[in-house]
Structure 1
Amino acid sequence: MVKKNRMNRAAAAMGVAALMSVAVPATTAHAATVAPRIDLKVLVVDDGGSSVGAITAELRDTGVPFTRIDLGSASRPVIDAAFLSDTVSGRPRAKYQGVVLPNENPFGTGSAEMAALTAYETAYGIRQVDAYTWAHPEVGLEYTDNGGYTGTLDGTQAAVTAAGKAGPFGYLGGQVTFEDNSPLIPESYGFIAKPMAGYTSLVDAPVGSGRGSLVGEYAHDGRSELVVTFGYNQYQQQFRLLARGIVEWLTQGVHLGQERNYFAVHVDDVFAPDARWDKSLNCTPGDYACAGGEGKESTIRMTAADAQYLAQWQTSKDFKLDLLFNAGAGEEWKTENGGTDALTTQLLADKAKYRWMNHTYTHLFLGCTQDVSVNPWTCTKDAQGQTLWMSRADISAQIRDNNNWAASKGLTTDRSELVTGEHSGLKTLPQQPQDNPNLAGALADNGVKWAGSDNSREPDQRAVGAALTVPRYPMNVYYNTGTNAEMADEYNWIYTSRTDGGSGLCEDNPATSTCLPAPLDTATGYLDYIVPAEAKTALRHVLANDPKPHYVHQSNLAEDRTLYPVLNQVLDTYRSLYAPSAPIVNQSMKATGVELQRRAAWNKAVDAGQVTAYRIGKDVTIKAPSGILAPVTAPNGTKKQLLLGTADFGTAYAGTRSTWTGPELLQSAVTLHLL
């Protein structure tokens, strides 16, 4: 639960004392004739609360530079005129383009620091976000005992107002529903109140017979504050929906950093069969360590009808899946089943409808030689105690043969992309604590630049020789299940206690797993419980500017077609929340790899203080180290200066234009001209 502010009407009676009379910095005396320079950086004053933490996370995750002041630190700098502004080459400079505070005055009554901020914001037209405050006249709102509401907001159906749609929240569809994950736990607390003069409500909610504000702009005394009257954290959906707009309002639509809503889904093992979960044995015959499973092996594989359904579904949802294929495994299946394969025939007939990616020829384990006679398996060693590894030639053959098969069938692939079976070849803890030393060479032999990895093991991008990894999120739609009942049964085994008939893994690892209070009904549990939970997790990634792809398996498109309910819920929910101006970005793994690489380089340059960016009037200048592209967001109509003339800047998304950009030919900096 987000802790509520301990504020009351009595405290309001004391009020905020009249701001101290502080002279505008001397440098602003030139403002009438010399436009000030405003640096593209945000000042964050942090009290340690979750609301400021959420905004800070949004700035960090989207690439917006900021300076954080720890309000509780005895060694923090004093916020005064010299801290906020100075003069550069005879021009007055505002060091921050926006200010984020925990509330409207976190420094205390009569504070010289708040007076300095007020003077600064007034002089330079800088906006301020009050991350979380209560409803009272000092922020332009009536007290809640005058037709308002104070209390929990779980499940509240808030909405973007007409002013919000015309302003910073125009990328939303309209509704902002507050999460209500448990009826037993309060999750959000806040104040719904009536606006006073000078206050424009941007997000409101029902209260009594009318509506009251939850987010609004309070214009007063030559300043503008964005007033938020509910608590939140960075993961809650209501904040994720509003986060972009908060930053756009704060920066007046011009800032470093950019944001997209990404969703890509990889379907592994296409053409290959997947082993099936055994409900009586609680393991998977044919896989490792399934006691009693000998002779009980069963597999799951798509049919031609499943492939036809996939093509139809993609068209109906305007969403493309990535098919990661094992051609050799498919050829083996065909040989073992009479020499014909209707599935492959159908998928190849529709080949232009999909993105195809190399998943190796026969899905071999590309790491160490495994000893599967023990549980868990171990790496086999030679007489000298050295680990035995799959050779570079054998790894290369797995990559090359799959590429050659694809070429022979007219499949369009990007040979720089590869996901190995089980992400093998990459380190696999605890058994294989290092990459196969032959992997990097084999990737280079085949021109692989982007290698899929498992985000649950390695969430950060890293180098494998000349290649870079692209972490992928595993979805809790299991590879070894083809039906809803199998999914619920295996889920029960993993997430119920031993006394309830489960494995007890959730009891053994309480820090990473929570036990179900009772086993799911295997007839209804998948659709009623697992699908909503998994869709919510995936949607959280989508709303967090996170480009990492998700992955499932071809078995999830077969039999009961268990994947579709999850995808339908993610896509349908997203499209009900967002306007058409902010579509889901469904991009390739290579594009995601490039995005992650650029973000890492940008963050490193920002952290090292190597980026200079500022606005003077309608001109924006950005300087970064050579070779480093900058993420930039600007209003529609912005032009980029070329050597000769200008060009439209960036690409349209969510009502603004943004892109990664660098200097043009013979230029040392990026120059943008605002409309």
Structure 2
Amino acid sequence: MFLLYLFAASASATPIVQLKLLVITTGSAEQDQGLDLIDDMLDEMGVPYDVLDATQTTLTTDLLVTNSQGNYNGIILTDSSLYNWGTGSVNGSAFTLAEWKILHAYERDYQVRESVLSGYPMSGEYFRVTYDLDYGMDMSSMAAGFSFTGVWQLTNNNDIFEYVNQTHNLPITDYTITTHPNFDPDGPVVTPLLTDKTSGKIMVSKLVYADGREVLYSSIANAWYLLYSQVLNYEFLNFATQGVFIGSRYIYLAAHIDDVFIHDELWDPETNTTTGEKRYRNSAHDIDNIVSANSQFTDQYTNVNSFKLDLAFNGVGAAQASPSPVSLISTTALSINSVDQDSNQTDGNKINVGTSSSMRERGLLQFELPDEISNNAATATLKLTTKKVAGGTEESTGSICLMTETWTNEATWNARNTVNAWLSSGGSFDPNYCIAYTVNRNRIKLNITSLINHWRTTNLPTFDLLIMADSGTLIKVFNSEANKERKHPNLKISFAASEPLTDAIVTNRDEFRFLNHTFTHRDMYKSSGATYDIAFQEINDNIGVWQRLGFPEFTAEIQTLVTGNHSGLEDSEGSNQASSISVDYPEGRNPALFESMMDLGIRYMASDISRPNQDIPSYVPETDILLLPRYPTSLFYNVTTPEELTDEYNYIFYERHIEAGDNPCTISGAICQPRSYSEILAAEAQTTFRHMLTFRPWPHYFHATNLHDYGNGNSLQYDWLYAVTDYFNQLLNLPIINMDYYSIGVMVEEKLAAQKANLRGTWDRNNNTVSLIADDAIKGRITGIAGGDFYGGQHLITTDIDSLGRTFIVDQANE
């Protein structure tokens, strides 16, 4: 009783509390799933807190009060009774009756609220006497189960769970106890907040006691892996602290699009592989379509009205300022004929082309155009040297056509390689892109500019031509084996100053943000031979393209870098990059890469959150470069359509396990049955929603292939964005912050500095002010202070704090 008197006297004199949370548990985070849930959120938000393991530590006055000042402005219990039948158990609780009374007296006298994450609804006279606990429930009405539909009851409680979408139900999918209130005059006043749709019984409620104490009570099992727990989690903190605490939370969503300007290989559903035979590079239409799609997206969702994609580009694929002309020799040439349909022919240094009543012979020519030049051709001239054959005419005629399928030197009349048949026997070609030729003095000279520029839109890896003779003509065409170079098949190209994709991106550059993805996408692994000079040039050349094309935010955003495949952080033990990474970050990092980055002023580097040791923001050892994680998704780099995505997704997560004779239901990460495209999007939306509710700002990354207009203006990218935003808006009512990568880096650095500086504060209830102080000059983030952003019904402020301290007016807003 003397102790309780001291509490009362202290509260009357100086109702000041520290801005710190006390989390009372029944074990460590590995043992207590409530702590495992709440501590991740508190750490991310930067909320100061202490953990009291009630099974190991006795609650005393000194833990709660120092020099008449309250040590905590909020209390969270991970379990309603601190359930414990182990060592130190008192009637199944880790607290004694005296400890419960100390806690409740502190909450009463210092006007501190309590949140209870889950647990048994101990109510009535017996529990009041035995534990000093009463959660106000009619225990005779209890029902337990694992599946409930939660209905929000917030009409008259706008200050609680203000961020949820009250019009949409919350599915509860784990053990839960539901009850009616008992209306006991000696117990608390119970206000239902979340009830079971079927029975009307309570799952979450606000309790107000006669002595003024207030408790947010949940009888739902909560854990980090439960989606509904992530929805509820913030309010446990917000209620307990009365909306005034060090730290803040926002919901973030950003989409990084890697490999802009270059080709990516495509998935082949026939072979279930990505061979490189099929590839895709965006068209100008894709960009125009995405700009329109984003406008529609932001118009439809008011909580994402400033959303932009971040384009991580490889400048090698952009139009060059003034590329030099090139002169190319055909790398492969052969003949195929309609008589010997399963083999090909070459006559030493010549190929045959002819058409007669008994046989057709066609010539195939292949040129490898330079990948580093994407500019359209201004002029393209093909020169072939021929030899008249017996029976041939002086002026043989025919056509040279653009082929629509790639082939190898094993091509025949029937097949384009040893595995695949032609779509059309005799070589597949586009009849709309054929140019007639006439042999003149053993020469063929054609302007094939239109064929070159159309080929660039096909995404075929090589430029392939089919030579067909008109009926009754026969010639031989010299190949690159001819002893005189002037007789070799020759293609001379001079280039225009632009190309459609680059023009489209430059025209719409203010609709996007940009990131340096290195010039050629070269691997930066140490084992790949990425030296300082190579890395420096890759990064610096791309900076030059940024400047030349006039992309916005140059000064800030060039301080960020996304390497190809996030390479340079991990490595293989061999001399070449292996398919299985064996040396994780940081041991596997490439020091030469980071030396070049520091010399170029790079401050922030992208990492893949799914890879070992890359999931938290941290400085690369021996550098000032900060890793900023990114989330991968199941919109793979090698898909452009729902059909391609669905085929590869189901192969990876289901079919390959069946082929191996395994049961996918027993394999982590696999699925028990194939999914449709809409089901894949639904799974992606739920996963991304979980990411968003961690309050971490990490972007999700995709690839330029996902921007392809696969029909009616639709793309995988915006299908994903719509699915995610729809799911989010069903459950929550908050703005979604779309932050650029550089600003994310600055914010993370500020948060890391605040952690080191021991930012702390007190709340004076007499004059309703908060005083903050830190060991060093930092940017502090605080919730419930006048000014700053108004987000989710609360004021969130970022301000300068140092060792001299500052005082602020409290504005709880949603109180």
Verify: 1:64 aligned to 2:204, yes or no.
no
Q: Which of 632, 638, 648 is equivalent to 2:782? A: 632
Note if contact 1:195-1:201 (Cα within 8 Å) is conserved in structure 2: no
Alignment root-mean-square deviation, CA: 2.8
Task: Give secondary structure in 2 for the equivalent of 1:99.
Answer: strand
Verify: 1:363 aligned to 2:515, yes or no.
no
Match of residue 328 from structure 1:
316
Match of residue 51 from structure 1:
34
Deviation of 1:366 after TM superposition, in Å, equals 2.2
408-417 or 347-356, which deviates more: 408-417
Change (3 A) 1:308 1:190: farther
Alignment of 1:198-217 (within 5 A): 198-201=188-191, 203-207=193-197, 212=202, 214-217=204-207
Verify: 1:420 aligned to 2:549, yes or no.
no
Alignment of 1:408-557 (within 5 A): 408-412=548-552, 413=554, 414-428=557-571, 430=581, 433-457=587-611, 458-464=614-620, 465-496=623-654, 498=656, 500-501=658-659, 510=667, 513-518=668-673, 520=674, 525-557=675-707
Amino acid at match of 2:161: F
Task: Give secondary structure in 2 for the equivalent of 1:277.
Answer: coil
Match of residue 351 from structure 1:
509
Note if contact 1:348-1:409 (Cα within 8 Å) is conserved in structure 2: yes
Gaps of 5+ in 2: 83-88, 125-133, 299-306, 320-371, 377-451, 454-494, 573-580
Amino acid at match of 1:172: V
Note if contact 2:137-2:179 (Cα within 8 Å) is conserved in structure 1: no
Deviation string, structure 1 residues 492-539 (Cα, Å, up to 9, x no partner): 3322365623697979x94xx333324x2xxxx342332111121111
Deviation of 1:28 after TM superposition, in Å, equals 4.4
Change (3 A) 1:399 1:86: closer
Deviation of 1:27 after TM superposition, in Å, equals 6.3
Match of residue 292 from structure 1:
none
Match of residue 154 from structure 1:
147
Deviation string, structure 1 residues 224-250 (Cα, Å, up to 9, x no partner): 111112112123232222222221110
Verify: 1:407 aligned to 2:547, yes or no.
yes
Gaps of 5+ in 1: 1-20, 181-185, 287-296, 371-388, 639-647
Amino acid at match of 1:171: Y
Alignment of 1:87-106 (within 5 A): 87=67, 92-106=68-82
Task: Give secondary structure in 2 for the equivalent of 1:162.
Answer: coil
Deviation of 1:221 after TM superposition, in Å, equals 2.6
Note if contact 2:25-2:79 (Cα within 8 Å) is conserved in structure 1: no
Task: Give secondary structure in 1 for the equivalent of 2:610.
Answer: coil
Deviation of 1:427 after TM superposition, in Å, equals 2.3
Match of residue 143 from structure 1:
138
Match of residue 173 from structure 1:
165
Match of residue 9 from structure 1:
none
Change (3 A) 1:156 1:269: same
Verify: 1:395 aligned to 2:553, yes or no.
no
Note if contact 1:135-1:193 (Cα within 8 Å) is conserved in structure 2: no
Task: Give secondary structure in 1 for the equivalent of 2:209.
Answer: strand
583-592 or 213-222, which deviates more: 213-222
Match of residue 344 from structure 2:
none
TM-score, length-scaled by structure 2 = 0.67
Match of residue 19 from structure 2:
40
Note if contact 1:417-1:451 (Cα within 8 Å) is conserved in structure 2: yes
Task: Give secondary structure in 2 for the equivalent of 1:390.
Answer: coil
Amino acid at match of 1:448: I
**Going by fraction, where is strand more abundant, 1 or 2?**
2
Note if contact 1:492-1:502 (Cα within 8 Å) is conserved in structure 2: no
Counterparts of 2:659 and 2:123 in 1: how far apart (Å)?
58
Change (3 A) 1:69 1:343: same
Amino acid at match of 2:374: K
Deviation of 1:39 after TM superposition, in Å, equals 1.1
Deviation of 1:159 after TM superposition, in Å, equals 1.4
Deviation string, structure 1 residues 442-491 (Cα, Å, up to 9, x no partner): 21232211111111121122334232111111111110112222222222
Q: In terms of Rg, which structure is larger?
A: 2
Counterparts of 1:351 and 1:61 in 2: how far apart (Å)?
33
Alignment of 1:572-583 (within 5 A): 572-579=726-733, 582-583=734-735
Deviation of 1:47 after TM superposition, in Å, equals 1.6
Task: Give secondary structure in 2 for the equivalent of 1:193.
Answer: strand
Change (3 A) 1:504 1:601: farther
Task: Give secondary structure in 1 for the equivalent of 2:742.
Answer: helix
Verify: 1:81 aligned to 2:61, yes or no.
yes
Q: Which of 124, 128, 138 is equivalent to 2:110? A: 124
Deviation string, structure 1 residues 331-366 (Cα, Å, up to 9, x no partner): 436248535632222222111111111111121112
Counterparts of 1:176 and 1:596 in 2: how far apart (Å)?
33
Verify: 1:111 aligned to 2:97, yes or no.
yes
Note if contact 2:81-2:122 (Cα within 8 Å) is conserved in structure 1: no
Alignment of 1:591-610 (within 5 A): 591-605=743-757, 610=758
Verify: 1:277 aligned to 2:267, yes or no.
yes
Note if contact 2:153-2:192 (Cα within 8 Å) is conserved in structure 1: yes
Deviation of 1:543 after TM superposition, in Å, equals 1.2
Task: Give secondary structure in 2 for the equivalent of 1:563.
Answer: helix
Q: Which of 230, 234, 256 is equivalent to 2:220? A: 230
Match of residue 661 from structure 1:
799
Counterparts of 1:423 and 1:505 in 2: how far apart (Å)?
32
Note if contact 1:611-1:622 (Cα within 8 Å) is conserved in structure 2: yes
